Amino acid sequence: MRRWPRKWRSNCHGCEVILTPRVLVVGDIMTDISARIEGPIAVGSDRRARIIQRHGGAAATQAIWLARAGVAVDFVGRVSAADHAAESEALSREGVTPHLVADFKLATGRLIAIVDPSGERSFLTDRGANDALEAADIPDALIEGADHIALSGYSFLAPAPREAARGVIARAAGRPVSVDPASAEFLREIGAAEFLAWTAGAAMLFPNAEEAAVLAGTDDPAAQGARLGALYPLVVIKRGALGCEAWAGAEHWRVAASGAEAVDTTGAGDAFVAGFLAARLKGEGIEQSLRCAVAAGSTAVRFEGGRPPVDTPGGADR
């Protein structure tokens, strides 16, 4: 990966110029409906809950955290034509440059997040227009202008976005590509071997502990790192309250969690990846980048919803 910021002095005035790293994020953008329930679901009856609708999507959320960390971000995704203006404006307001495609047939993806009293969440997902993303939606100019490309694992679930995502890896021409697998249950559905084959050529993989277990075929943390580390130059495993680990060849790093009390874990993994990438792109080493990632993830669990509020370092108004 390139080390940033780069500096040089201009020939005419001798001024120092600092270039900002630029990341292309490709993937899902959703309408999130979050239901924070007061207790266990009462099957066949009622349970009080706080229900909020927000802009969401793992890839879009990651893009916003990257922008808040001082990275220039282009985001490519697909939404319904009816939502195109509103979703574009919401991303722009967060500091992300949107390149959204308007779909005249499919609705914007929707997700229901059920958040239990501990802050853990379960998702019900309707992918909608996300499953129609295609290679033509991702201009060559965006790939060529990126210092790093981040792909959501959700993009590998359906044929059209899968081919688009695989095409991005092929078109990256030496630019590092990272993949966040995004969903252990979907990985089980499509098969670990298929996902690993589809993401071959990526420079970084960011699974959580459950996703790593599915992809590596083992619950043993060391074996997960060894097996996945043989397939990707850098593997970073998010282990929640147990912190995180990274492998690059024979090198191994471990960083503890912050111990932050979780209000809502939605978006914490997206913030974690953004924190890591922003630090690496600005020239930090692996261990410090992991610490930045943990700090970002810990910030994300302190409030409801995945996108950070306006008064949060690393976030804007929803």
Residues 94-108 have pLDDT tens digits of 999 999 999 999 999
pLDDT at 265: 67
Q: Which domain holds residue 136?
A: 20-29+58-106+130-300
Q: Angle at CA 151, nearest 5°, toward 148 and 154?
A: 170
What sign does the dihedral 204-205-208-213 (CA atoms) show?
negative
User: What is the C-alpha separation between 294 and 282, in angstroms, rounded?
Assistant: 17
Region at 174 (left for phi over 0; alpha for psi -120 to 50; beta for the rest): left
pLDDT at 118: 78
Q: State the CB neighbour count (10 A cutoff) for residue 51.
A: 10
User: What is the C-alpha separation between 91 and 63, in angstroms, rounded?
Assistant: 9
Evaluate if residue 11 carries a pLDDT over 50: no
Evaluate if residue 2 carries a pLDDT over 80: no
In a domain, 183, yes or no: yes
pLDDT tens digits for range 218-240: 999 999 999 999 999 999 999 98
Beta bridge mates, 245:
237, 254
In a domain, 203, yes or no: yes
Backbone angles phi, psi at 316, to 5 degrees: -130, 170
State the maximum Cα–Cα separation within the chain, in Å, rounded to a whole number.
74
In a domain, 11, yes or no: no
Beta bridge mates, 109:
30
In a domain, 197, yes or no: yes
Amino acid at position 80, single letter: S
Evaluate if residue 3 carries a pLDDT over 50: no
Evaluate if residue 38 carries a pLDDT over 70: yes
pLDDT at 317: 35
In a domain, 39, yes or no: no
In a domain, 139, yes or no: yes
pTM of the prediction? 0.88
pLDDT tens digits for range 112-165: 988 888 777 788 999 999 999 999 999 999 999 999 999 999 999 999 999 999
In a domain, 76, yes or no: yes
Residue matched to tokens 């266990």: 40
User: What is the C-alpha separation between 276 and 288, in angstroms, rounded?
Assistant: 9
32 is catalytic: no
Evaluate if residue 30 carries a pLDDT over 80: yes
Catalytic residue chosen out of the listed positions 131, 270, 311, 317:
270
In a domain, 47, yes or no: no
- Please report, for the domain that includes residue 200, its CATH number: 3.40.1190.20
pLDDT tens digits for range 179-226: 999 889 999 999 999 999 999 999 999 999 999 999 999 999 999 999
Q: How many domains does the chain have?
A: 1
Average pLDDT (67-79) is: 96
pLDDT tens digits for range 261-316: 766 666 789 999 999 999 999 999 999 999 999 999 888 777 766 677 765 554 43
Residue 94 contacts by C-beta under 8 Å, 6 or more apart in sequence? 63, 64, 67, 68, 307, 316
